[in-house]
Amino acid sequence: MSLQKVQSTATLLPLEFTPIFKRTRWGGERLGTQLHKLIGIEGDYGESWELSDHPTAQTRIANGEFAGWTLSQLIHKDPDALFGVGNCNTTFPLLIKFIDATDRLSLQVHPDNSDQQKFDSIESGKSEAWVILDAAEGSQIYAGLKPGVDECRLRRHLEQGTIEECLHSYPVQKGDCVYIPAGTLHAIGEGVLLAEIQQTSDITYRLFDWNRLDQSGNPRPLHITKAFESISFDRGPVDLIQPQKQFAAGHDVEQLLESEYFSIRRHQSQHSFSLPTLSQAQVLVILEGEGQLDCGEETYELLPGKTILIPATAPDCQIHMDAEITFLEVIPA
């Protein structure tokens, strides 16, 4: 990953977005109480789509000269200013969410790029990473299959209603990070609040929904055939990521992930510091603390739950804090 700056035709300052909220049967209130989202009073808000260029749910720019625009419109106008010279993206390749799960989500799988073409030529595959922001005591996640579980065994346990015996699961706590490559059978357990970084795709195949019924007494639709076609049976268990410390002057940095689709670094500091911009887009996701981002002549408030896209051609930034701040730096591959 090159950190060398390149020249472009325009300077583009950091962008903030108006999130899209999604109410779900398993949602709660922590998007509002912990992440300062302006949700309603219903108490069932499961997702906040912070930055999305997905055609069915495009977040709009909330600041500056392009306020009200979608990312697609901006990419069409000046892709070099956003991505850097020579980048061929026509869609922003990452989707950033917060998820509040008060109940266990369905057991599901996302196809990879090659499998997805069999089902939908428009969508990409979907690999994703989770960073745990809060977890009730006993909260866990399901990530992959136990060693030795093949398709035949999984089908047998699915038919018998004992599929949980096939799943690799473990408790999680605040600060944990896990990468869920496409093809991994997985579920978020109850009590978990997390940030999700994923490819720009909204394809999910549900294999099992824990025998739950909706308000009309009917089960939710499952996608058993497509799910089995998408599961990578040779992957086995998927464990927590072990962060790698990196050197940075004046503050702590951990490399959480470097995948073929995106990388994630976690920054933590009690002191102001410089944040050089790159020759490509980078996204900041604020997890804890308060402060401000100074870029050019503009200042941006930093609060838990804030997501900011820094374009490739933005000037170098300064981060100042009122208290210790923790944020993710996400860079598309």
Percent of the chain predicted with pLDDT > 70: 95
* Per-residue pLDDT, 102: 97
- Residues 267, 216, single domain; the answer is no
Q: Rounded mean pLDDT of 177-181?
A: 98
- Residues 38, 114, single domain; the answer is yes
Q: Rounded mean pLDDT of 74-91?
A: 92
**Residue 104 within a domain:** yes
Q: Rounded mean pLDDT of 189-207?
A: 97
**Residue 7 within a domain:** no
25 catalytic? Reply is no
- Residues 179, 286, single domain; the answer is no
* Per-residue pLDDT, 49: 98
What is the C-alpha R_g of the chain?
20
Task: Kindly give, in sequence order, each residue whose CB lies less than 8 Å from that of residue 203, ignoring residues fewer than 6 positions away.
Answer: 110, 111, 116, 119, 120, 123, 125, 126
**Residue 239 within a domain:** no
**Residue 191 within a domain:** yes
- Residues 91, 193, single domain; the answer is yes
What digits encode the pLDDT tens for the residues 234-246? 999 999 999 999 9
pLDDT at 5 over 80: no
Burial of 197 (0-12, 13-18, 19+ CB in 10 A): buried
Q: Which range is least confidently modeled, 69-78, 118-127, 282-291, 300-309?
A: 118-127
Sequence ranges of the binding site: 110, 128, 186
What residue type is 80 in one-letter code? D
- Residues 214, 303, single domain; the answer is no
* Per-residue pLDDT, 119: 66
**Residue 180 within a domain:** yes
* Per-residue pLDDT, 69: 98
- Residues 164, 133, single domain; the answer is yes
Sequence ranges of the binding site for Zn(2+): 110, 128, 186
Domain boundary among 172, 204, 230: 230
- Residues 263, 116, single domain; the answer is no
- Residues 32, 149, single domain; the answer is yes
Q: Rounded mean pLDDT of 222-248?
A: 95
Q: Where residue 251 sits, what CATH number does that domain have? A: 2.60.120.10
Q: Rounded mean pLDDT of 284-309?
A: 96
What digits encode the pLDDT tens for the residues 42-76? 999 999 999 999 999 999 999 999 999 999 999 99
Give the alpha-carbon dihedral of 218, 222, 225, 230, to 10 degrees: -170
* Per-residue pLDDT, 213: 82
- Residues 44, 188, single domain; the answer is yes
Beta bridge partner(s), residue 20: 49
Q: What CA–CA distance (Å, rounded) separates 285 from 98? A: 10
* Per-residue pLDDT, 4: 43
Catalytic-role residue among 206, 212, 220, 265: 206
pLDDT at 275 over 70: yes
Contact assessment for residue 295 and residue 13, using Cβ atoms and an 8 Å cutoff:
yes
Q: Rounded mean pLDDT of 147-174?
A: 97
> Beta 205-208 vs 177-180: how paired, if at all?
unpaired
Q: List b or e across 33-66, with b for residues whose CB sees 16 or more CB atoms inside 10 angstroms.
A: ebbebebeeeebbbbbbbbbbbeeebbbbeeeeb
Q: How far is CA 313 from CA 7, 10, 62, 152, in A?
A: 8, 7, 19, 52
Q: What CA–CA distance (Å, rounded) separates 247 from 167? A: 37
Between 68 and 248, residue with greater pLDDT: 68
Q: What CA–CA distance (Å, rounded) separates 159 from 224? A: 11
Rounded to 5°, the CA angle 199-203-205 comes to 130
The whole domain housing 295 covers 244-332
Q: Rounded mean pLDDT of 248-270?
A: 94
Give the alpha-carbon dihedral of 115, 116, 119, 120, to 10 degrees: -160
* Per-residue pLDDT, 9: 60
Q: How remote is the C-alpha of 44 from its chain's centroid?
A: 20
Q: Rounded mean pLDDT of 121-133?
A: 89
Q: Order of strands, edge to edge, in the sheet holding 298-302?
A: 273-275, 317-321, 291-295, 298-302
Task: Provide the domain count of the chain.
Answer: 2
**Residue 237 within a domain:** no
Domain boundary among 230, 262, 296: 230
Q: Which range is least confidently modeled, 29-43, 54-68, 80-94, 109-123?
A: 109-123
- Residues 59, 162, single domain; the answer is yes
Instruction: For residue 118, give both structure tokens.
Output: 């069999």
The chain-wide mean pLDDT, for the chain, equals 93
**Residue 80 within a domain:** yes
Percent of the chain predicted with pLDDT > 90: 85
- Residues 278, 163, single domain; the answer is no
- Residues 221, 81, single domain; the answer is yes
* Per-residue pLDDT, 3: 40
Domain boundary among 181, 197, 230: 230
pLDDT at 2 over 60: no
**Residue 9 within a domain:** no
